[in-house]
């Protein structure tokens, strides 16, 4: 929801950063890799006991993940870049979930439920994007939903910074992901029927 509706407020900083990185000679795919590595490092830093630094690195990773798409659209988008971007996003999410599970094994069941809900939601999202004839500014149809990447990062941040409520936060994240998956599934029925 925030990625869709609040993007206009952060887009100027995303475009500015995109232009600066392009002038430095970086490609969109290189920024995708940097964002990916920062996300993996965020999980590792968190797992060894630095939650604030982990959250900061996660958000920098997320910001660069938005920048790479803008760079691609301003230069030369590639189909492989899209695949790499979506794949790396999921790996970062998995790494954060593993890091939280490592530090909070008592939250294993909620984290497993969350992982399943992300798989469910992303399956609907990617399938609709792949077979839909609708086009957006991205390289495939981007189906908005209650939980998009920003909401995920907010909930991951709460999980990482407030360990006493990690189980409840994870369950809330699970419910929002399932709701989003159902929301996208119902929209798919309308647009694909």
Residue-range definition of the domain harbouring residue 90: 2-192
Q: Compute the half-sphere exposure of residue 133: CA atoms within 13 Å on the CB side of its CA.
A: 3
The lowest-confidence range among 37-41, 77-81, 166-170 is: 77-81
Segment 56-77 shows an average pLDDT of 92
Q: Is residue 27 a contact partner of residue 70, using CB atoms and an 8 Å limit?
A: no
Segment 171-184 shows an average pLDDT of 93
Phi, psi (5° rounding) for residue 69? Answer: -65, -40
Out of 3, 65, 85, 89, which one is annotated catalytic? 89
Q: pLDDT tens digit string along 115-147?
A: 999 999 999 988 888 887 665 555 556 667 777
pLDDT at 125: 86
Using DSSP's 3-state secondary structure scheme, residue 32 falls into helix
Contact partners, residue 174, CB within 8 Å, separation at least 6: 110, 113, 114, 117
Using DSSP's 3-state secondary structure scheme, residue 34 falls into helix
Segment 19-45 shows an average pLDDT of 96
CATH label of the domain that carries residue 151: 1.20.120.1760
> Residue 102 above 70 pLDDT?
yes
Using only C-alpha atoms, the chain has a radius of gyration, in whole angstroms, of: 17
Could you give the number of structural domains in the chain? 1
pLDDT at 126: 86
Segment 53-66 shows an average pLDDT of 97
Active site residue 89: yes
What's the pLDDT band for 7 if we cut at 50, 70, 90?
confident
Stronger pLDDT, 9 or 47, i.e. the higher one: 47
């Amino acid at each position: 929801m925030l990625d869709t509706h609040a993007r206009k407020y952060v887009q100027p900083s995303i475009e500015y950063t995109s232009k600066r990185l392009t002038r430095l000679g970086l490609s969109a795919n290189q920024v995708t890799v940097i964002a990916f590595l920062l996300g993996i490092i965020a999980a590792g830093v968190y797992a060894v006991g630095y939650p604030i630094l982990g959250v900061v690195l996660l958000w920098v990773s997320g910001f660069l993940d938005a920048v790479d798409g803008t760079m691609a659209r301003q230069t030369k988008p590639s189909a492989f870049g899209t695949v790499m971007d979506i794949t790396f996003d999921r790996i970062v999410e998995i790494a954060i979930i593993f890091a939280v599970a490592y530090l909070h094994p008592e939250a294993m069941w909620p984290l497993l439920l969350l992982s399943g809900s992300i798989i469910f939601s992303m399956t609907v999202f990617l399938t609709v994007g792949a077979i839909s004839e609708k086009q957006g500014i991205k390289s495939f149809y981007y189906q908005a939903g209650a939980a998009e990447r920003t909401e995920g990062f907010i909930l991951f941040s709460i999980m990482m910074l407030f360990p006493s409520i990690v189980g409840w936060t994870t369950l809330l994240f699970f419910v929002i992901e399932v709701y989003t998956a159902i929301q996208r599934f119902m929209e798919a029925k309308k647009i694909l029927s």
